[in-house]
Structure 1
Amino acid sequence: MPPIAKARRSGSYTGTNLWNRARTQLGGVILFAVLLPTVVLGFFYDDFLQAAASQQTLLGVTLAASLSVLLVRNISLHPGIKSAFFAFPSVLICFALTFSLFLLFRIEYGRALFLTSGVVTLVWLYIVEIMVERGPALSVGIVPFGEVSMLAGVSKLELHWLSEPKAETDYDMLIADFRADLPDDWETFLADCALAGIPVLHVKQLHESLTGRVEIEHLSENSFGSLVPYIGYLRLRRGFDFIAAALAAVLLMPVFVMVSVAIKLDSRGPVLFRQARIGYRGAPFQVAKFRTMIADRNEEDARAGAMTLDNDVRITKLGRILRRTRIDELPQILNILRGEMSWIGPRPEAEVLSRWYESELPFYRYRHIVPPGITGWAQVTQGHVAELDQVMSKLHYDFYYIKNFSPWLDALIVAKTVQTMVTGFGSR
């Protein structure tokens, strides 16, 4: 039997280490954010542990801290994520929801324990994530057959190209192209490594997890199952979309009025821009946005007119601000209320562009399997694009979203959207 690799124990993102990391986080928050503050407060306040409010608060902070760990862990599964950055919003959301339940049902609670537990949970999760992010790069053994060269340009990897079916050092995982015709001795080597507990992954599997892109070259290799995302979550999210859009429409009404007045003062033309776009399951609909371009433009080429280029001369001064902050997208709340869009999903393209992309790019129509959104994985990762090669890259991000369709990925997109609005990333 050929020599096999050993699993290097490091801060890598393998399945086992992710589980160990989650256990460390959960054990730490239970010990330092729940039990320790309870003991300390019980020492300073008589009958603290016997009080009903304290016992109820203890259950509440245990729930909030555990949910914080769960949220951070599931967000960490996605590529290009600095988990420490998302520790604060995760803890804030989980503790705020738990606190809201206490207020809603008028349950007595202890403020000191709630506040202390929340702060300690944040500090502990932040420390753990910082330590993981500063850990060594993944040590990956590459079986030199097939299309494994796609990993050459991926960061965060320490690549070791194997010349024979044996390992001279320890690896976090081994990578091979399972579609390639591997020699018998290499197949035996990989089988032995897998039996020894070493992760052996298909090259595309690792590439997707590190780049956030899913590339489909053949229909037979799609991993969308029946090409339909989880219907239960789709229906649940539709209810959330409607409620959130209705509340946003009321709360943002002053913003709508001020922006409308500003657009009228900035340039001639209507306040809203309407355009036919392709939506859920390929159905066309009319999208509404705040107008950001001059209104009296005449474009002979409809396809070129639908594209927005870098430093586009048609964009007004106010329009650049609205685009950078994504405020121009807010009227699409009306589309959400009508069920034509969601808050999160692949961006709907202009009908003339969508038909063009469908004729030029394979599998493009699959992006319509989920409802389009105001923001999405491609938008917060790649930004706005129009050229065919860029759209193909964007399509791979859309496929990643469809394949990993979940509330965890949606939560991550919301957090990255806030970051995008602040930095103006990807706007044109």
Structure 2
Amino acid sequence: MKPTPSLLFRLLNGILLTLIIVFLYLCVKDIHPFNPKVINSALISLTAYALTAVSINKLLYFPGKQSWLHILPAVGIGYSSVFAVNALVFITFSNSFVLAHGLLATVFFVGDFVRRNRHTPRMAYIPLGRASQADQLPHAEWVRLPTAMLPHQNIQAVVADLHSSDLTPTWQKFLADCTLRGIPVYNIRQIEESLTGRVKIRHMYENDLGSLLPPAAYMIIKRFLDIVVVLLMLPFALPIMFLTAIVVFADSRGKVLFTQNRVGQGGREFRIYKFRSMYANSEANGAQLAQIGDQRITRVGQFIRKTRLDELPQFFNILKGDMSLIGPRPEQKVFVEKFEQSIPFYNYRHIVKPGLSGWAQVTHGYASNTDETQIKIEHDFYYIKHFSFSLDLLIAFKTIRIILTGFGAR
């Protein structure tokens, strides 16, 4: 399991940081320690710090290589939200106090992140059953256990296929001893999910689908957030959309907007909007997935696909309720019908709204065949299983990086 920093440790550091800021503030200002302004500023800062610490711990729980740049938006959202709420209710506090607290908190969070990510977690595995190839999993240093003895190296966990019939009483006793020594023991399926960000679908059972039910309450909150965020972004997005439409029109003949039926939540079809990035009549011979170096893509199309500008008209799909900002990418019905025949449980991805960006897009990229699509679906299942604001926030941060780097575009 991917280790995350102790929340208690972070909160204790937050209290210490607040006391330091209070001391420095009192040294600069000639003010009584129990002045309401000092107390309010300390409580506001501590609340913002705690909110940020919880958010960062949840972000770091998710698999994949995280960047310290993900820390900055989390701090900004935590402090600005608390700051705004208290400003609206006219609570007296010091702006400089909260700002200084936020800056020092950022230094602490980034420094702690860098320190913890210097070392890859070391885990031992029992080479039996599905765990026999555990050393192929990423983001960990693996130590093979040929016998029921702990290795000389320090390890953070032991991984085994706990359902394997090859797990003899000797191995079972060994695992029990590891637990008594305080060494965590994990099932290989749990570790696969944690380290790869994928939920395997080849060996799923009916009762596994129950764990993939997204919380209904967050689905309602997510719809509200989608509308608010899109409305806030439209004043900035509309001028960019206008300029994009002009260059698409000038570059090649055909309509500026490309519309197509896609399969959405519940398997219902809807009309998706995109800026045209291919030559007119590019699918005259039938629907086909885009490939690397696809000759159907125009010169401008290559740029707007790489920067995701071609997706901006989908803001209107989001306002209509067809899509969400974050979710599995919608596919054409012809591909959905094909993948339903070859990929188990494929249709289950339609339990949530499709998204402008998603977990599969920011971790795997574009899928151009059935094998890649199966991996993509496993990422989609992970997203559905861990459906939450924290994961949506991480995907949003990663999406910004993708827009800047062009990762996964075709």
With the length of structure 2 as denominator, give the TM-score of the two structures: 0.94
Preserved contact between residue 215 and residue 396 of structure 1 (Cα < 8 Å): yes
In structure 2, the partner of 1:3 is none
In structure 2, the partner of 1:134 is 118
Preserved contact between residue 2 and residue 195 of structure 2 (Cα < 8 Å): no
Matches of 2:249 and 2:125, distance apart in 1: 60
Task: Report the CA distance between 1:363 and its aligned residue.
Answer: 1.1
In structure 1, the partner of 2:149 is 166
Check 1:79–1:390 CA distance in 2 against 1; reply closer, same or farther (3 A cut): same
Instruction: Name the stretch that deviates more: 342-351 or 227-236.
Output: 227-236
State the one-letter code of the partner of 1:350.
Q
Deviations for 1:129-157, whole angstroms, at most 9, x for unmatched residues? 1110012x322222121021342222333
Aligned length: 408
**Aligned-pair Cα RMSD in Å:** 1.8
Matches of 1:303 and 1:352, distance apart in 2: 8
Q: Give the 5 Å matches for 1:29-178.
A: 29-32=14-17, 34-47=18-31, 49-82=33-66, 84-135=68-119, 137-169=120-152, 170-178=154-162
Matches of 2:88 and 2:196, distance apart in 1: 42
In structure 1, the partner of 2:177 is 192
Preserved contact between residue 2 and residue 194 of structure 2 (Cα < 8 Å): no
Are residues 1:260 and 2:242 paired? no
Check 1:36–1:276 CA distance in 2 against 1; reply closer, same or farther (3 A cut): same
Preserved contact between residue 211 and residue 385 of structure 2 (Cα < 8 Å): no
In structure 2, the partner of 1:401 is 383
Matches of 1:61 and 1:35, distance apart in 2: 11
Check 1:383–1:168 CA distance in 2 against 1; reply closer, same or farther (3 A cut): closer
Task: Report the CA distance between 1:311 and its aligned residue.
Answer: 1.3
Preserved contact between residue 145 and residue 180 of structure 1 (Cα < 8 Å): yes
Preserved contact between residue 268 and residue 295 of structure 1 (Cα < 8 Å): yes
Task: Report the CA distance between 1:168 and its aligned residue.
Answer: 4.1
State the one-letter code of the partner of 1:210.
L
State the one-letter code of the partner of 1:424.
G
State the one-letter code of the partner of 1:287.
I
Which runs of no fewer than 5 residues in structure 1 stay unpaired? 1-11
Preserved contact between residue 127 and residue 133 of structure 2 (Cα < 8 Å): no
Preserved contact between residue 72 and residue 83 of structure 1 (Cα < 8 Å): no
- State the 4+ residue runs in structure 1 displaced beyond 6 angstroms: none
In structure 1, the partner of 2:318 is 336
Matches of 1:50 and 1:191, distance apart in 2: 53
In structure 1, the partner of 2:274 is 289
Task: Report the CA distance between 1:109 and its aligned residue.
Answer: 2.3
Task: Report the CA distance between 1:298 and its aligned residue.
Answer: 5.3
Identity rate, percent: 35
Preserved contact between residue 227 and residue 369 of structure 1 (Cα < 8 Å): no
Matches of 1:101 and 1:176, distance apart in 2: 48
Check 1:160–1:251 CA distance in 2 against 1; reply closer, same or farther (3 A cut): closer
Matches of 1:80 and 1:206, distance apart in 2: 13
Preserved contact between residue 25 and residue 124 of structure 1 (Cα < 8 Å): no
With the length of structure 1 as denominator, give the TM-score of the two structures: 0.91
Task: Report the CA distance between 1:333 and its aligned residue.
Answer: 1.0
2:200 is aligned, of 190, 195, 215, to 215
Which runs of no fewer than 5 residues in structure 2 stay unpaired? none
